[in-house]
Chains A and B, each alone.
Chain A
């Protein structure tokens, strides 16, 4: 069975089930069924709805700008076509997002990740959501933050420090004196921050690493 036939069958079932009941109370019924491949049910009811809405939107706009006499002109026709395209594009984009979500749930059984982690490729659903389906899936590398100058005497542990930890007037220079018996893993960032802001010598407890911050001021 082709997708068209399947969609047609599902639409037929829905119409048989609901249409007469709705008609009894003066309500029209139209199924809007799409497949996970993004294909819309080829029935005329839903496909004509965006055109009807676009026509009414354009008429309302021309009435709003007091140009009722231009309704039916070529400009009106083009304006209606533009509105129709905008509406259909919005619907198709929503269908694409719903399809991506449905497929993601089918495969992973979890909701879509709410936020992309740095370094991870952007998902197709995110692309569609943010209108960046055409964009590259690889994010541009972010520039590394500036680091203070670190003078290393002997085999210093790795000290990573951001630039905003320096107070004004300080040289931003951190001397690391190592006795050669420091613990592996380097110096904690809080110690480094204290050394930079304290203006004195901090002995790292538990390790033999000594950090001294030299102020030029």
Chain B
């Protein structure tokens, strides 16, 4: 996860790690592992990568 964050930061993206992403769903406490802010996808502001092994 740290490597991915480092690569994204080197690319110039603003990255948030383990940042709770507020959602409209009820009783949701989604917590993105790596969030690339303003990633530039169509219809999306950010991209959340959920890293697990």
Tell me the smallest distance from the CB of B46 to a CB of chain A, in Å: 5
Whether a CB of chain B sits under 8 angstroms from the CB of A76 is no
Look across to chain A and name the residue whose beta carbon is closest to the beta carbon of B33.
Answer: A32
CB within 8 Å of A: which B1-53 residues: 1-4, 6-8, 10-12, 21-25, 28, 30, 32, 35, 39, 41, 43-53
Q: Is A194 on the interface with B (CB-CB < 8 A)?
A: no
How far apart sit A36 and B52, CA to CA, in the bound complex (Å)? 10
A30: contacting residue among B7, B11, B45, B48, CB under 8 A:
B48
Segment of A50-58, A128-136, A160-168 in the binding face: A50-58
Contacts of B25 in A (CB 8 A): 20-21, 24
Contact of A36 among B23, B32, B53 (CB under 8 A): B53
Bound complex: CA A141 to CA B24 (Å): 63
Residues of B within 8 A of A62 (CB): none
- Is A210 positioned at the interface, with any CB of B under 8 Å from its CB? no
Surface stretch bound by B, among A67-75, A87-95, A114-122: A87-95
Pick the contact of B21: A10, A25, A50, A94 (CB < 8 A). Answer: A25
**Closest-CB distance, A153 to chain B (whole angstroms):** 63
With the chains together, A46 CA to B1 CA distance in Å?
Answer: 12
Which of B1, B4, B12, B41 is A28 in contact with, Cβ under 8 Å? B41
A6 lies within 8 A of chain B by Cβ:
no
Closest chain B CB from A143 CB (angstroms): 38
CB neighbours (8 Å) of A56 from chain B are 11-12
Determine if A65 is an interface residue (Cβ-Cβ < 8 Å).
no
Q: Of A22, A36, A49, A90, which contacts B3 at CB under 8 A? A: A90
Measured CB to CB, the closest approach of chain B to A202, in angstroms, equals: 56
Determine whether the beta carbon of B48 is less than 8 Å from that of A53. Answer: no
Chain A contacts of B47 at CB under 8 A?
27-30, 49
Contact mask for chain A residues 168-193; partner B; CB cutoff 8 A; 1 contact, 0 none: 00000000000000000000000000
Given A22-B23, A26-B46, 8 additional A-B pairs, CB 8 A: A18-B50, A25-B23, A32-B52, A33-B53, A34-B53, A57-B10, A91-B4, A94-B2
Residues on A lying within 8 angstroms of B by beta carbon are 10, 14, 18, 20-36, 46, 49-50, 53, 56-57, 60, 87, 90-91, 93-95, 98-99, 102
